[in-house]
Chain A
Amino acid sequence: EPEVTQTPSHQVTQMGQEVILRCVPISNHLYFYWYRQILGQKVEFLVSFYNNEISEKSEIFDDQFSVERPDGSNFTLKIRSTKLEDSAMYFCASRRGQYNEQFFGPGTRLTVL
């Protein structure tokens, strides 16, 4: 069964460094999302991406965040200058169409020291 994959599974970085989190959505899906979950808390929406552009973003998704779909398969989240409070699990999700379920990847645990 097709699934969303994410790499790396765990990323440790120093405050102020740039990180790129990678996702490969399910191949025939058209809508892509990034969410994050701080340990022990709820899942929070960051950004949605459709038709090669950002369609919606939350207040969390400020200027230090960016997303790209550099080729037909990868979907990346870049954090330009990481802060301690960026430490969280980051989930990528995709869905085939507007009326379909979203499938989550296994997540990348980001630890900012």
Chain B
Amino acid sequence: QQPVQSPQAVILREGEDAVINCSSSKALYSVHWYRQKHGEAPVFLMILLKGGEQKGHDKISASFNEKKQQSSLYLTASQLSYSGTYFCGTEYPIGGSQGNLIFGKGTKLSVKP
């Protein structure tokens, strides 16, 4: 039930782009993306609900393909502040579920100057 994230790690130069993928073997209700810096709490980035949609703010956007049961996070023109571990949290349409998130193992992103 745990979503699979890829890649596990990526190293970028400032200004480069990256894509992080999150796939589920089960039908998804929503996908939540978080960024976590070392020793800190996960910080919410965006939520995508079923129905298939794309969202974005600044240079970070995400898409959700309900049929393929996957979501992708797009980071464009990366900045040093983008470094951290990115987690997708998936929510499943289980009857009575109160929205607990099942997280992937994370993708460690390092942006170098």
Contacts and interface: CB of A to CB of B under 8 A. Distances in A.
Contacts of B81: none
B52 interface: no
Interface in A35-66: 35, 41-45, 47-48, 50, 55-56, 58
Contact of B32 (A55, A98, A102, A106): A102
A85 interface: no
Nearest to A34: B100
Given A99-B49, A104-B41, A107-B41, A55 B98 contact: yes
Instruction: Name the interface size band of chain A.
Output: 20 to 34
Interface of A, secondary structure class, is: strand
Given A42-B87, A43-B103, A99-B49, A105 B98 contact: no
B102 interface: yes
A53 to B, nearest CB: 10
A101 to B, nearest CB: 5
Interface of A: 31, 33, 35, 41-45, 47-48, 50, 55-56, 58, 91, 95, 98-107
